[in-house]
A = this chain, B = another copy of it.
Amino acid sequence: MTSDAGGPSSVTVELLGVLAYGELSAFDRLAEDARAAPTLAGRAQLSTMAAAEIGHFRLIEDHLGGAGVAVADAMAPFVSLVDSYHASTAPRSWLESLVKAYLGDGLGADFYREVAGWVDPATGELVRKVLADTGHSAFAEREVRAGCAANPAQRDRLALWGRRLLGEAVTHAQRVVAERDDLAEFIVLGSGERGGVAGLIKTVQVAHGRRMGRLGLS
């Protein structure tokens, strides 16, 4: 599954393309959401989280660039599906933004942490670096818990929101895989007896539940 030129395999380029556009679009959404922050400190915090996505994006850009692949080319096939995910999960409040950022980062990290073991070592290392927690989780956990403590109805709404985010993410990820036989094959081979795409989704669901718990939403 490696290319003729010995560069990254086409599946690796696809995985990094989705990840890169995931980071770029997360930047865009977080930057937009930052405007709705209730305080200047919160706005600065969410803007900083957005900027961190670009730090990750650039790591991928450099990695692909080193292999002669323009990140824009790698991202292009996935723009409309990722945009569709964001359009279907547009936050309507500050706390929904934070929950989405927190859970969305987590979902992406779960998936790519699994995948990191199935790609070439240099790409695996890159992926682990990109997904390292940037230290903003604690902020989201604190804000969401505080918001819910002040308003229990809020907690129920956010718990529903968290479940919807998982559903939309899984649906959209399945559509990406359904459109690409090589990706599906890569996941089936990589996951082995852990059960292919279905097994991967199960793993992600369990971790999602734990994160909901940390936000006080389980």
Residues of A within 8 A of B (CB): 24, 27-28, 31-32, 34-35, 39-41, 43-44, 47-48, 50-51, 53-55, 57-58, 61, 70-72, 75-76, 79
Contact = CB atoms under 8 A, between A and B. Distances in A.
A43 B53 CA distance: 14
B28 A34 contact: yes
27 contacts: A24-B43, A24-B44, A27-B51, A28-B34, A28-B35, A28-B47, A31-B31, A31-B32, A32-B32, A39-B72, A40-B75, A40-B79, A41-B70, A41-B72, A44-B57, A44-B61, A44-B71, A44-B72, A47-B57, A48-B54, A48-B58, A50-B51, A50-B54, A51-B51, A51-B53, A51-B54, A51-B55
A47 B72 contact: no
A34 B25 CA distance: 11
Given A24-B43, A28-B35, A48-B58, 9 more contacts: A32-B32, A41-B70, A44-B57, A44-B71, A48-B54, A50-B51, A50-B54, A51-B53, A51-B55
A134 to B, nearest CB: 12
A90 to B, nearest CB: 14
Contacts of A41: 70-72
A75 B76 CA distance: 39
Nearest to A42: B72
B47 A24 contact: yes
A77 B148 CA distance: 31
A61 B31 CA distance: 18
